[in-house]
Amino acid sequence: MTEAEFLAALRALPLHPGARGLLDDTAHLDGLILTTDTIVEGIHYLPDDPPADVAWKLVAANLSDLAAKGAVPEGVMLNYPLRAVPPAKAGVQLGDSTNDAYSSVTIAFPTGPRPSPGRETGWDEAFVSGLDIALRTFAVRLLGGDTVSLPVNAPRVIALTAIGRAARAPLRAGAREGDALYVTGTIGDAGAGLRIARGESGPADLVDRYRRPTPRLAEGKALAPSAHAMMDVSDGLLIDAARMADASGLGVTIDLAAIPLSAAYRAFAGDDRAARIAAATAGDDYELLLAAPAGIPLAARATPIGAFTAGTGLTLTDGGTPIPLPTTLGFQH
Amino acid sequence: MTEAEFLAALRALPLHPGARGLLDDTAHLDGLILTTDTIVEGIHYLPDDPPADVAWKLVAANLSDLAAKGAVPEGVMLNYPLRAVPPAKAGVQLGDSTNDAYSSVTIAFPTGPRPSPGRETGWDEAFVSGLDIALRTFAVRLLGGDTVSLPVNAPRVIALTAIGRAARAPLRAGAREGDALYVTGTIGDAGAGLRIARGESGPADLVDRYRRPTPRLAEGKALAPSAHAMMDVSDGLLIDAARMADASGLGVTIDLAAIPLSAAYRAFAGDDRAARIAAATAGDDYELLLAAPAGIPLAARATPIGAFTAGTGLTLTDGGTPIPLPTTLGFQH
């Protein structure tokens, strides 16, 4: 099934009211906000990425969803696979570590190239160290989790569930006609960081924006009371703004010239239309996107970059002049 | 790392008080009980197992942990991987479906034998159908989740987090000297079912006990007010009882002759000492094990099978006569 088909099938299951129709990034229960994200080796991170960065990003991506609801993180639960190291006798798997008698079953898996010893040895230790740093940095604590065995060579699949508290959580679908669209921080730094991580020359602090994003927890908490709608920017500013407008039954106009770029980004990629489109369609920013009345004072810094309008779809302007949409608005699932 | 090493490393992280030192199967927050379990293809289930049974068991295993805390299930969150089907061009992966720009990276994975079309086609659909049945059967609703792409041939890793409510949740570590040890239902049926599923001849209802275990939600809620300690029996009666005693700083004596066996089990495996030891060391029962004062009336049916004593360790008797412990007490992680 495709993701869209799978989600449609899930929506036909008995849904909790706190699931909000599976239309938001979080679930709501008793004043608690719950969100979960999974990362897969080779899909969301590369086998050679530093494990501590993988842990950081897993925590940050989850906390970013809490930030977008104005929530204060309370705790996280971790689902972690311990991968079997290549055994002397191929095909023998390590035992199980959840509650299941299937665990004693021995199954041979396709064996491809062996993981290099440098990747396997110490990966778990380094991941836990990175988790420790991330938890301490964001003042969040471990609530529980589950550890399972993974066959040799299987890509790691690591899940984290984050739980926070929020008095009032703005949804993705809440923008009103005439609201301004605001974004926190600067856009495009992580996308530039990915390009630098892949070999282009550029400053290391952009790579840090990519590898160690900062969830905007303080900003989210401060902005939530004023926000009619809020979500994090993870797949690209344009696509995420279009999703907020769509969920709210509105159209949205964004002015490319208003999108905040960092000095480091401008030094790396320039400041022309192409550079601005690249920034607005790259992912992994983990900034917050919100709909709020135009002109009201906000309790945290955010840049107005557009407006919600009657109608549907995304309209792009550059200094007020309408321009064609790029072929890709961001990452599409 | 081994699971023990990994857990030790996790215990050095900032722990939430509700994590209870990571010594229980559940976390506790604001009267909510949280638990999470992961299943891995080839470790916890076989590639040829019916997907609907895999979904059922994932739900049942999680709800069983809630049952052991006397909790009423409120909702579940699902982390589900959509596996790429073998593409025409090997090494090209499907896109991502969480919030991560890494998703556009294309990586070649070791390609072993192709999954048979019969296994891949319709697996997701059948899993969701099984999930639907399990949720409706246990009156629990979907709260949220996450869907990711998985490379071709990678074993599926599926996680579920279950959330319930409990006024008072008995811990694993709470048995008192002189308490009786009780168990609900009958023991060994699932283990016999696994043998039958693997080819021995025997009744299909034992296979059902293995493939579609029933979490003892009503029993757990009824027994919790009387229980000094409670946990579910998932790795084997003897090993789980030994863990409860160890967590409580006590020893425990179990009388093999008192262990409740079903008529179907006795017809399949007999009723001699070997059959009783097989039942008491097989896993996947998902019955409840509890410590409560001897002789008090219990609000749900449970069989007294032993007693907690000062000291440490497990002592086994058969009709009151001490007998040697079997070499394996159950599934050891």
Mutate: best of A100, A106, A163, A287, partner B, most B CBs <10 A: A100
| CA–CA dist A325, B88 (Å, integer) | 32
Q: Which residue of B has its CA nearest to A7?
A: B147
* CB atoms A146 and B113 under 8 Å: no
Distances (CA, A) of B141 to A18, A232, B229: 10, 26, 28
- Residue B286 clears pLDDT 90, i.e. is over it: yes
Q: What is the pLDDT of residues B303-327, one digit of tens each?
A: 999 999 999 999 999 999 999 999 9
Instruction: State the complex-level ipTM.
Output: 0.88
**What digits encode the pLDDT tens for the residues A208-236?**
999 999 999 999 999 999 999 999 999 99
* Mean of pLDDT values over B129-134: 98
Contact B24, A140 (CB under 8 A): no
A165, A33 Cβ separation under 8 angstroms:
yes
The class (CATH top level) of B180-323 is alpha beta
The whole-angstrom distance between B262's CA and the closest CA on chain A is 19
What's the pLDDT band for B333 if we cut at 50, 70, 90? low
Contact A82 B3 (CB under 8 A): yes
Structure tokens at B166: 């409990």
Measured between CA atoms, how close is A329 to chain B, in angstroms? Answer: 13
Contact call for residues B138 and B63 (beta carbons, < 8 A): yes
Kindly tell me the sign of the dihedral angle through the C-alpha atoms of A212, A215, A218, A222: positive
Architecture field, domain B3-165:
2-Layer Sandwich (3.30)
Residue B56: list chain A partners with CB under 8 A.
Answer: none
Identify the residue whose tokens are 């999974």.
A38
Is B255 annotated as ligand-binding?
no
Q: Are the beta carbons of A267 and A188 closer than 8 angstroms?
A: no
Residue B144 binned pLDDT confidence (cut-offs 50, 70, 90): very high
State the pLDDT confidence band at A120, using cuts at 50, 70 and 90.
low
- What are the residue boundaries of the structural domains of chain B, listed by start? 3-165, 180-323
Chain B: closest CA distance from residue A246 (Å): 18
Amino acid at B66: L
Residues making up the annotated binding site of A for ATP are 145-146, 172, 234
Residues of chain A with Cβ-Cβ distance to B96 below 8 Å are 43-44, 331, 333
Chain B residues touching residue A78 (CB < 8 angstroms): 10
Chain A residues lying within 8 Å of B287, measured CB to CB: none
* Pick from A110, A148, A163: CB nearest B112: A110
Q: Say how far apart CA A107 and CA A123 lie, in whole Å.
A: 24
- Whether the per-residue pLDDT at B92 is higher than 80: the answer is no
By residue count, chain A amounts to 333
Determine the distance in angstroms separating the CA of A202 from the nearest CA of chain B, rounded to an integer.
Answer: 19
Predicted pLDDT at A266: 97
Q: Is the CB of residue B187 less than 8 Å from the CB of residue B317?
A: no
**Residues above pLDDT 90, as percent of chain A:** 84
- pLDDT tier, A102 (very low <50, low <70, confident <90, very high otherwise): very low
